[in-house]
Amino acid sequence: MKVAFVSFEVYPLAKVGGLADVAGSLPKALISKGVDVEIFMPYHKVVKKNIEKFNLRVEKILDQFDTGLKTDQKASLFKTNLPGTDIPVYLISNDYYFSSEDVYGSPDGGQQAIFFTKAVIESIKKMNIHFDVIHSNDWQTGLLPVYLKSLYRNDPVFSNTSTIYTIHNLGYQGLFDRSYIDFAGLPDYLYNMDGIEFYGKINFMKGGILFSNIVNTVSPTYAEEIKTPEYGEKLEGVLQLRKDVLYGVLNGIDYAENDPKTDKCIPYNYDLNSLDGKKKDKLYLQKEMGLKESERTPVIGLVSRLFDQKGLDLVDDIMKYVVASCDVNFILLGTGEPKYEKAFLDLSKEFPQKVAVKIGFDVNLAQRIYAGSDFFLMPSRYEPCGLGQMYSLRYGTIPIVRYTGGLADTVKEFDGKSGNGFGFKNYDSAHLLRSILRALYYYQVDDYMGTLIKNAMSMDLSWERSASEYIKLYELSKAR
C-alpha cells in the first residue's frame, strides 16, 4: 500500500505542536509494517535550517510550476528524507507563502494553506505517482479531499486514491471569508450548508470531514466527545452525520526518542528494573531549577502551552494553597497567555524555595522535567489525545489529569494496586485539588509509588500499536 502523508509540520524538520510529533513518528511505524509512505510538507524557513543541521541531501524535483490558483505565485518541489530514515519528504517551496520565520506566521493563513494543498495535488500529478491513500491532517489540509472529490474527480492519477482525514484538534478549523472559495478555484456549489459553508464563512475542516472516505481523531474518547455540543465546536451535527466513518485512534510516542534508558537529555539514565537514575534526576532537576535538593519532597511538573484549554485557570486557583500547605515542589515550563505567565512567575517569587517557573520552551529541560518529577500535571479542559501524559508515563512520572479525551484513554485511577495515575471529571479547581492531595497521600508510602511507577512504565504507548489501527483505516478507506 502506497500512502501520501500530508502535514503542515513534521518533527524534527518543523515543530509547533503535537501534529509534528505524529507526522514525524507515525510514518516510521507504518514503514516498519510494510506500508510505503511518502511525506508532503511546506518548505518552511525552519525546515531549511534543520536540513543543514541534520546534514540532509536535498534535490529539486519540479521547478516553478503552476498550481492553478488565482495567483501569479509558482511552486517548486524539493525532496529530502526524514532524518535518520529513508522516508521521502517532499517539500513545497514558495518564497511568498513560506517566507515567515514561524511555521504559522503567514499574514494570510487561508491562502497559505490553499496554496500548499493545491501544490501537493499538482505535484503528485506531475510526478504521476498513484497513491492508494492520501492521509491529510488538520484544517490546513482540509480542502485536499474536497479538491479530489470535485475538480479532480475524473483525473486518472487519483482514480484509485482514497482519502483519510485526521482531526488533531477540533478547536482550530480554518474559518475564512467566502472569497477564499474563489481563490481556491473551487465550484460555487460547494458554498452551502451541505458543503463547506459554515455560518457565513468557509470551513476547511468541515470540508475534510465531509469529503474524506474515512475521518478519524486521535483518541477513542475524543471521537465520542466531539459528537456532542459540549466538545463539538459547532461541528457536532456534521460529525454525527459522518459517525459511521468516524474513528478514534490513540496517538503513540516515539519510543526511540523517548527512552529513559538512553535519553541523552537527562543526566542519569534508568529503566523499570533500576530506578536509581530517576532519583538522581529528581535531585538534579531541583538543583537546576534553584530549589532545595530533597529526595523526600515530591515534585509536581507541568510542561504546557499556557492557555485556558490546558486547565491553567484551575492550576492558578489552587497551586498557592498546595505549595503553602504541603511539602511539595512545583516546576513549570511553558509559554502562552500573559496572565498565566505573570501569575506563575509571581507564585515563584512568593515561594522561591518551592516553586520554579521558566517561561519559554526548552525541549531538553522538558525531558528533564518528565524524568525528574514525581507527578505530572495535565488538567485540560479538553484534550484530543495529549502527549505530555504519555511522556510522563514512559518516564515513570505519575500523571494527574482531568479525565477527558486521550487523557481518559491513557490514565486510569490508582486504587492501591491497579491504575497508573490520578484524575477527576468535573472541570472544577476543587476536584483538581482533591486529586493532587490524593496523589500526595499515596506518595508517602513507598510501596504505593513503586506500584504506580511499575504500572506506568509497563504500558505500551508506542506507535507500533497505533500504526496497526491506521493500516486498518487505510484498508477500510479503499472499501468505501
**Euclidean distance between CA atoms 410 and 386, whole angstroms:** 9
Cβ atoms of 126 and 157 within 8 Å: the answer is no
Residues 414-434 have pLDDT tens digits of: 999 999 999 999 999 999 999
Residues 7-49 have pLDDT tens digits of: 999 999 999 888 999 999 999 999 999 999 999 999 999 999 9
Torsion of CA 334, 335, 338, 339, to 10 degrees: -30
Please give the average per-residue pLDDT across 187-211, as a whole number: 97
**Euclidean distance between CA atoms 144 and 208, whole angstroms:** 7
**Euclidean distance between CA atoms 347 and 336, whole angstroms:** 16
CATH class, domain 2-252+464-478, is alpha beta
Above 80 in pLDDT, residue 446? no
Please give the average per-residue pLDDT across 211-231, as a whole number: 98
Q: What single-letter amino acid sits at 237? A: G
Mean pLDDT of the chain: 96
Residues 264-315 have pLDDT tens digits of: 999 999 999 999 999 999 999 999 999 999 999 999 999 999 999 999 999 9
Residues 341-398 have pLDDT tens digits of: 999 999 999 999 999 999 998 989 999 999 999 999 999 999 999 999 999 999 999 9
The confidence score (pLDDT) of residue 332 equals: 98
Please give the average per-residue pLDDT across 139-151, as a whole number: 98
Above 90 in pLDDT, residue 452? yes
The confidence score (pLDDT) of residue 262 equals: 97
The confidence score (pLDDT) of residue 18 equals: 86
**Euclidean distance between CA atoms 24 and 340, whole angstroms:** 30
Q: Give 257's pLDDT tier (boundaries 50, 70, 90).
A: confident
Residues 44-86 have pLDDT tens digits of: 999 999 999 999 999 999 999 999 998 999 999 999 999 999 9
Identical fold at 2-252+464-478 and 276-461? yes
Cβ atoms of 455 and 419 within 8 Å: the answer is yes
* Nearest of 428, 452, 396, 380 to residue 259 by alpha carbon: 396
Helix (H) or strand (E) holding 464: helix 463-478
Q: Give 447's pLDDT tier (boundaries 50, 70, 90).
A: confident
The confidence score (pLDDT) of residue 191 equals: 97
SS3 63: strand
What is the number of other CB atoms lying within 10 angstroms of the CB of residue 349? Answer: 10
**Whole-structure pTM value:** 0.93
Q: Give 326's pLDDT tier (boundaries 50, 70, 90).
A: very high
Above 90 in pLDDT, residue 246? yes
Give the CATH fold of the 276-461 domain.
Rossmann fold (3.40.50)
Q: Give 176's pLDDT tier (boundaries 50, 70, 90).
A: very high
Q: What single-letter amino acid sits at 450? A: G
The confidence score (pLDDT) of residue 134 equals: 98
At a CB cut-off of 8 Å and minimum separation 6, what does 173 contact? 139, 142, 198, 203, 204, 205, 206, 233, 235
**Euclidean distance between CA atoms 397 and 373, whole angstroms:** 6
At a CB cut-off of 8 Å and minimum separation 6, what does 237 contact? none
So where are the chain's domains?
2-252+464-478, 276-461
Per DSSP, 395 falls in state T
DSSP 305-355: EESGGGTHHHHHHHHHHHHHHSS-EEEEEEEE-HHHHHHHHHHHHHSTTTE
Please give the average per-residue pLDDT across 111-122, as a whole number: 98
- Helical segments of 176-293, H only: 179-184, 204-211, 220-225, 236-241, 276-288
The confidence score (pLDDT) of residue 63 equals: 96
Q: Give 123's pLDDT tier (boundaries 50, 70, 90).
A: very high
Above 90 in pLDDT, residue 107? no
Please identify which residue in the block is written with the cell numbers 457536532.
Answer: 236
Q: Is the peptide bond before 384 cis (omega within 30 degrees of 0)?
A: no
